[in-house]
Structure 1
Amino acid sequence: MTETSHDTHVLVVDDDDAIRDLLCDFLQENQLSTYQAANHAQMWQVLQQKVPDVIILDINMPQRNGIELCRELRESPKYHSIPIIMLTARSSSLDTIMGLETGADDYVAKPFEPLELLSRIRSVIRRSRMVAENAGKQSEELDNGILRQIAFNEWTLDIQNRTLIDKLNTSIPLSNAEFKFLRFMLLHANRPLSRDQLMEEMHGREAGPFDRSIDLQISRIRQKIEIDSKNPTVIKTLRNEGYLLTADVRYVK
């Protein structure tokens, strides 16, 4: 384990010793404290000693891969809110989608530009701290019965249970990414949303020219709420603009 005296703490989990060392050296040069873990066992040992501000988690590791570790972290009462950035293979869009659906906050494809990763780290930490600052207010609003459900067409998004309910009152589970995505679109219903706006909301950055994570997320949600996902009527594609969720939306308190 390596640590510096700075205030922001980053845990780097990667089985490649060279990548871990280079990444930690770079982050320390940019005023970030770092910890290292080569596998899942070391990761949990570090977490017992110090809760970091963000975890950099490699997907392709032996024994327990990054997807499994991300899922375990999101299910942990103590560590579920720690921001996670996944390191993925550039050619694997499936790994990227699985990581985001499991609960990762962002991803960077290898080989990556260190300054880009630094920007992503600062972005997810900034958003995480804003969420923490607003947690008390949000909790009070929920206690007072503000916005517990969002009803649209024949569907209801249950905010508290993070599930989708159909007209037969059947609960349909949503991944963390699907829930956040659908909630954002419903809160901005009947207004065009660009891919950059959606990417900023989900990952704190603009969409790159070859980034298909937003399009893939839209496709997965369409499969759940559209009668015919190939001919959508709820989430429409706006050519050269982005997407538009068209629905009669009612906020249930």
Structure 2
Amino acid sequence: MIYLVEDDESIRDFIIYTLKSQGMEAAGFGLPSKFWKAVENKAPSLVILDLMLPEEDGLHILKRLRAAPGTEKTPIILLTAKGTEYDKVVGLDAGADDYVAKPFGMLELLSRIRALLRRTEKAPGEYRLGSLYLCPEKHVIRVDGEDIVLTQKEFQILCLLVENRGVVFTRAQLIDRVWGYDFDGETRTVDVHIRTLRQKLKACGAYIETVRGFGYKIGEGA
């Protein structure tokens, strides 16, 4: 069951309608107090959380979820009109798994939801895409059984793309996640790292797709 906490009724109804049309179980709440009552009855499989809410702000809800037994590992997406780097960093540092800034596209939100649900449903720690094997915990990358040596940034980019297969990341988002919000270099840095990463992965480098004018992803069919 996916829970959405959003006080804007039109946004809430639209998201819930879309999720249900995709065959997902979902419930929306305009007030945090109603959300907490629902959590007591049934723990969510994923939470979409607005930051600006009546009664209790989203950041406080996020911290409570992370501190509570039963929801400490629940995937959480922040949905907020706040788009500054500071707000993103605060949310991620507090335990959010992802964020989507308003205005947003439903296709993007659906992709991020599916990616997080896949991550929690998979056996932890290992990914196999064709002849590519990745174990982030052990820092192991193999192609056709051969160990591949990557730089730290290349490894972080690969893990991010593989763990969120199907989700497109802009260059700015990759910089934010891999280099950090205080990075003052050029977005071209991402392109350089992607190019060398593809080369090192040999035939599996083709799994990293360029979405022209936007960024990079690993396709659903990889």
TM range (shorter): 0.5 to 0.7
> Structure 1 185/90 Cα, relative in aligned 2: closer, same or farther at 3 Å?
farther
The answer for the alignment partner of 1:119 in structure 2 is: 111
Question: In 1, distance between residues paired with 2:163 and 2:52?
Answer: 23
SS at match of 2:100: strand
> Structure 1 15/100 Cα, relative in aligned 2: closer, same or farther at 3 Å?
same
User: Unaligned stretches of 5+ in structure 1?
Assistant: 1-8, 136-183, 221-229, 231-236, 244-253
How far 1:197 sits from its partner (Å)? 1.8
Question: In 2, distance between residues paired with 1:120 and 1:239?
Answer: 22
Q: 2:158 aligns with which of 183, 197, 219?
A: 197
1:91-240 correspondence runs (5 A): 91-131=83-123, 134=124, 184=136, 187=139, 191-192=150-151, 193=154, 196-200=157-161, 205-211=167-173, 212-215=175-178, 217=180, 240=192
Q: State the TM-score, normalized to the length of structure 2.
A: 0.65
SS at match of 2:122: helix
How far 1:195 sits from its partner (Å)? 6.2
Question: In 1, distance between residues paired with 2:139 and 2:6?
Answer: 37
The answer for the alignment partner of 2:4 in structure 1 is: 12
The answer for the alignment partner of 1:53 in structure 2 is: 45
Question: What is the letter of the counterpart of residue 214 of structure 1?
Answer: R
* Bigger Rg over Cα: 1
Question: In 2, distance between residues paired with 1:98 and 1:73?
Answer: 16
> Structure 1 83/40 Cα, relative in aligned 2: closer, same or farther at 3 Å?
same
Question: After TM superposition, which residue ranges in structure 1, 4 or more long, deviate above 4 angstroms?
Answer: 201-204
Contact kept? 1:196, 1:206, Cα under 8 Å: no
RMSD: 3.3
Question: In 1, distance between residues paired with 2:118 and 2:8?
Answer: 28
Q: Percent identity?
A: 28
How far 1:210 sits from its partner (Å)? 2.8
> Structure 1 13/216 Cα, relative in aligned 2: closer, same or farther at 3 Å?
farther
Question: In 1, distance between residues paired with 2:79 and 2:116?
Answer: 15
Question: In 2, distance between residues paired with 1:98 and 1:201?
Answer: 24
Contact kept? 2:81, 2:102, Cα under 8 Å: yes
How far 1:216 sits from its partner (Å)? 5.3
Contact kept? 2:43, 2:70, Cα under 8 Å: no
For 1:10-30, what per-residue CA distance to the aligned partner results, in whole angstroms no more than 9, with x for missing partners? 101111111111110111111
How far 1:124 sits from its partner (Å)? 0.3
Aligned residue-pair number:
172
Contact kept? 2:157, 2:178, Cα under 8 Å: no
Question: In 2, distance between residues paired with 1:110 and 1:19?
Answer: 10
Question: In 2, distance between residues paired with 1:94 and 1:37?
Answer: 26
Contact kept? 2:115, 2:163, Cα under 8 Å: no
* Residue 74, structure 1, aligned to residue 66, structure 2: yes
For 1:34-91, what per-residue CA distance to the aligned partner results, in whole angstroms no more than 9, with x for missing partners? 1111122111111112222111111122332211111111111121121111112263
User: Unaligned stretches of 5+ in structure 2?
Assistant: 126-135, 142-148, 197-222
Contact kept? 1:12, 1:57, Cα under 8 Å: yes
The answer for the alignment partner of 1:85 in structure 2 is: 77
